[in-house]
Amino acid sequence: MQDIKGTVRQYILQNFLMGDMGVQLKDDQSFLDHHIIDSTGFIELVTFLESTWNIRIQDEEMIPENLDSLDSIERFVRSKT
Amino acid sequence: MLLHEWLETHARERPSSVALVCDCDRYTYRDIDERAEHLAATLQAHGLRRGDRIAIYMDNCAEAVISIFAALKAGAVFMPVNPQTKADKLTYLLNDSGARALLSHGSLQEIVAAAARNATNLVALIMAQPTSPTVAGHTVVTFAAATSAEASSFQVPPTIDQDLASIIYTSGSTGEPKGVMLSHLNMTSAATSISTYLGLRHDDIIFNVLPLAFDYGLYQLLMASRVGATLVLHRSLAFPIKILEAMARERITVLPFVPTAFSMVLNMSSLKSFDLSALRIVTNTAAALSEAHIRAIRAAFPQARLFSMYGLTECKRVTYLPPEQLDIRPMSVGRGMPNEEVWLVDENGQRLPNGSVGELVVRGSNVMRGYWNKPEETAARLKPGEIPGERVLYSGDIFRTDAEGYLYFVARKDDIIKSRGEKVSPREVENVLYQIEGVLEAAVIGVPDPVLGQAVKAFLVLKPGHATTEREVIRYCLAHLENFMAPKHVEFVPQLPRTDTGKISKRGLS
């Protein structure tokens, strides 16, 4: 399996973050608490995860426990693939 | 009547009633009142005086609620700042208002530090869960210490209802945000009128996911405090399933939303599996609902009364459509609210009869005192009324009326974009686009979007030899603007259309 965290980190750096903020993005940092991704950004993130790993994310799975940090995304994507 | 006196009355008369639910924590009216008074004492001990501005740069959380009431108790003017605000703009807001205190939380500390370095008037920095003991040369006071019972003794200031209670910044067509000055009288008047026509009660449980920095989000708190209801504060629209869970768990009776929020929640496939039968009032503001939206909301919440409303920060609320009128004139935003007069005028300021098209004018105790330190902008909006000395608000919005005086939105007089229910100034976005290396010309417009209402779209002409991508442009904007202001679409064009005088013309762009 590819490096899930690295791929998502790259996606977030390319799409949402600039300069210092990107360098400091920690694996367990909440995207929401730190205003890295907002409500429409999460919809884009879900689309990215679905297309990159060829998975289908249900409405019920769109919860912070699955999506709100690099750590939680890695856990979640692993469980789906 | 002062804006914080409702809270104080309930804290005295029904101290153990739940005022606030936040992340499953519950706070009674007494809890909020006591902590706010301790914080007010701390602010006074730091030299804050009647009339001083206090910036509250926080997500929706209990600390934000306590801070608002503390500022009011201290006789100060609270200034709610959207937590999506980036450092440059935060600096501008702090300096423009001359804010002497800033309250925030640790997750925003980096931005606070960058802004505080250049904020010349700050004397107090209070942070919930700070990540370091000093910020930009200021010793950070923790929120816990500032609200503890050991805080200094509190002196009741001689505030009257003509004093400013709040300054709320709003986007202006010049690109420079304007601070809307609202007195205690302005805000108690608006909160009283709105909660009266909605029929809010002390046993209501009001859900609020709209930011407290957005005026209708703020008014949920103020109206809950007026009637002694419970406010359930939620932080973000990002996870709609969490919203539905909270609504069902707390037996929510009042749901204030904006069209984008309705779109996100009504699209959930599991909506029907949640018991939302306690819901009795649903309100919409910030942008008009489509007829399809109205049908979907009524199908989802058949027992609830749906209020379509229209307003602007400068007077909070202008109109509402009584729910029984929704089938008769679904596209109307209704008529003026209690204790307020509204009418349309032509270009010469003459009143127009029903059945006309013109600019909407508002008269009432809810109309702002003006824009902070902006006399010209104030004079353009607040003009003499019929009674000598009185000023009435020219809304800048064009409406038409039907034969019975019900209002229908036609257009704005300026080019402000409404995206996700928030105002976006094209000039403010263009100013940031021009900072990107290689950008020669920029033009920003709003384009229709099924979820956002309008999406922000940028047209860019690059200097010869420069290249960039849509995503890089968006990313740059996200780093410098509130997220809702960043363009959703970027189109690179060889040139922009011009007027006869050579100015960039947005006509024909889409």
Q: Tell me if chain A has a CB within 8 Å of the CB of B474.
A: yes
Mean pLDDT, range B105-128, rounded to an integer? 95
Task: Give the pLDDT score at A21.
Answer: 57
Question: Looking at beta carbons, which residues of chain B come within 8 Å of A60?
Answer: 241, 270
B176, B156, B158: which is closest to B97 by C-alpha? B176
- Answer yes or no: is pLDDT of B309 > 80: yes
Among A35, A41, A63, the residue with its CB nearest the CB of B239 is A63
- Answer yes or no: is pLDDT of B510 > 90: no
Residue B24's pLDDT band (cuts 50, 70, 90): confident
Residue B204's pLDDT band (cuts 50, 70, 90): very high
Contacts of B386 (CB under 8 A, 6+ apart): none
Burial class of residue B133 (count of CB atoms within 10 Å of its CB; 0-12, 13-18, 19+): exposed
Contact B241 A19 (CB under 8 A): no
- Partners of B345 in the beta sheet? B351, B359
Residue B453's pLDDT band (cuts 50, 70, 90): confident
Task: Give the pLDDT score at B174.
Answer: 82
Task: Give the pLDDT score at A23.
Answer: 59
Mean pLDDT, range B203-209, rounded to an integer? 98
- Answer yes or no: is pLDDT of B498 > 90: no
Q: Tell me if chain B has a CB within 8 Å of the CB of A71.
A: no
- Answer yes or no: is pLDDT of B394 > 90: yes
Question: How far is CA B216 from each of CA B105, B168, B219, B312, B422, rounded to the nearest angstrom?
Answer: 22, 11, 5, 9, 11
Contact B235 A32 (CB under 8 A): yes
pLDDT in tens, B397-410: 999 999 999 999 99
Task: Give the pLDDT score at A15.
Answer: 83
Among A34, A38, A59, the residue with its CB nearest the CB of B269 is A59
Contact A30 B107 (CB under 8 A): yes
Contact B233, B246 (CB under 8 A): no
- Answer yes or no: is pLDDT of A18 > 70: no
Query: Could you give the percent of chain B with pLDDT greater than 70?
Result: 100
Q: Tell me if chain B has a CB within 8 Å of the CB of A18.
A: yes
Mean pLDDT, range A25-48, rounded to an integer? 91
Task: Give the pLDDT score at A1.
Answer: 56
Query: Could you give the percent of chain B with pLDDT greater than 90?
Result: 87
- Answer yes or no: is pLDDT of A20 > 60: no
Please report the number of interchain residue pairs, chain A to chain B, with beta-carbon separation below 8 angstroms: 64
Chain B CA closest to residue A12:
B475
Residue B465's pLDDT band (cuts 50, 70, 90): very high
Among A15, A38, A59, the residue with its CB nearest the CB of B270 is A59
Mean of the per-residue pLDDT values of chain B: 94
Q: Helix B5-13 crosses helix B29-45 at what angle (to 10 degrees)? A: 130
Question: Looking at beta carbons, which residues of chain B come within 8 Å of A67?
Answer: 239
Task: Give the pLDDT score at B133.
Answer: 95
pLDDT in tens, B31-65: 999 999 999 999 999 999 999 999 999 999 999 99
Task: Give the pLDDT score at B29.
Answer: 98
Mean of the per-residue pLDDT values of chain A: 89
Mean pLDDT, range B99-108, rounded to an integer? 96
Mutation target among B478, B480, B482 for the A interface, most CBs of A within 10 A = B478
Residue B142 one-letter amino acid: T
Determine the Cα–Cα distance for residues B313 and B171; give it in Å rounded to an integer.
10
Chain A CA closest to residue B86:
A35
Contact A40 B451 (CB under 8 A): yes
Chain A CA closest to residue B471:
A15
Contact A40 B452 (CB under 8 A): yes
- Answer yes or no: is pLDDT of B352 > 60: yes
pLDDT in tens, B133-167: 999 999 999 999 999 977 679 999 999 999 999 99
Determine the Cα–Cα distance for residues B144 and B153; give it in Å rounded to an integer.
16
Q: Tell me if chain B has a CB within 8 Å of the CB of A26.
A: no
Task: Give the pLDDT score at A13.
Answer: 87
- DSSP type of residue B163: S
- Answer yes or no: is pLDDT of B474 > 60: yes
Task: Give the pLDDT score at B417.
Answer: 92
Three-state SS sequence of B378-441: HHHHEEECCCCCCEEEEEEEEEEECCCCCEEEEEECCCCEEECCEEECHHHHHHHHCCCCCEEE
ipTM of the complex: 0.91
Mean pLDDT, range B413-429, rounded to an integer? 89
Which stretch of A50-54, B2-6, B168-172, B215-219 has the lowest confidence by average pLDDT?
Answer: B168-172
- Answer yes or no: is pLDDT of B20 > 90: yes
Q: How far is B436 from chain A (nearest CA, A)?
A: 13
- For B509, the token pair is 């762009």
Q: Tell me if chain A has a CB within 8 Å of the CB of B475.
A: yes
Contact B270 A64 (CB under 8 A): no
